[in-house]
Amino acid sequence: MKNIITHTIRYEHSPEAVWDYLTKSELLAQWLMPNDFQPIAGYEFNFKVNPMPAYDFDGIVYCKVLEIEPFKKLTYSWKGGPEKGKINLDTIVEWTLTPKDGGTELLLEHRGFKDVNLSIFSIMDAGWLKNMKEVATLLNTQNAGK
């Protein structure tokens, strides 16, 4: 079984502009989920969405910033389950930004899925790609307003 989600997308924007959408709570909420994220190593935060009982998910993603290198790399844990204290999804999300051809290449690696997570894996795989494309739309809209 494949146990890592990997997507790469190139943006026509600087690493700093892309970084903002990964690390500013209000911008992150525009393309991913409401959250209380802060770009501080060791900081624990949550993403919140509607519960999905069919997938044993209570709607809260429990995260912790594991590594942060401004404009280059952001890594955090991504845990969820059917209720607080009961985790059946224990994974790592890693974003790597690379300046490329006057823009930014963004690599997502979401790893650590176990066999029990097969159903959620395919949903998240498609969801991450959709969300990464949404960042491009938001960046382009933001630049159009300038």
Give residue-wise pLDDT tens across range 93-143.
999 999 999 999 999 999 998 876 677 888 899 999 999 999 999 999 987
Three-state helix/strand/coil letters over 106-145? EEEEEECCCHHHHHHHHHHHHHHHHHHHHHHHHHHHHHHC
How many CB atoms within 10 Å of residue 116?
A: 11
CATH 3.40.50.150 matches 4-114: no
What is the structure's pLDDT at 55? 85
Helix, strand, coil shares of the chain as percentages rounded to 5?
35, 40, 25
- Spell out the domain ranges in the chain: 4-114, 116-146
Give me the torsion for CA of 126, 32, 59, 70, rounded to 10°: 110
In angstroms, rounded to a whole number, what is the distance separating the alpha carbons of residues 26 and 35? 8
Give residue-wise pLDDT tens across range 43-98.
999 999 999 998 889 999 999 999 999 999 999 999 999 988 899 899 999 999 99
Q: Which pTM does this prediction carry?
A: 0.94
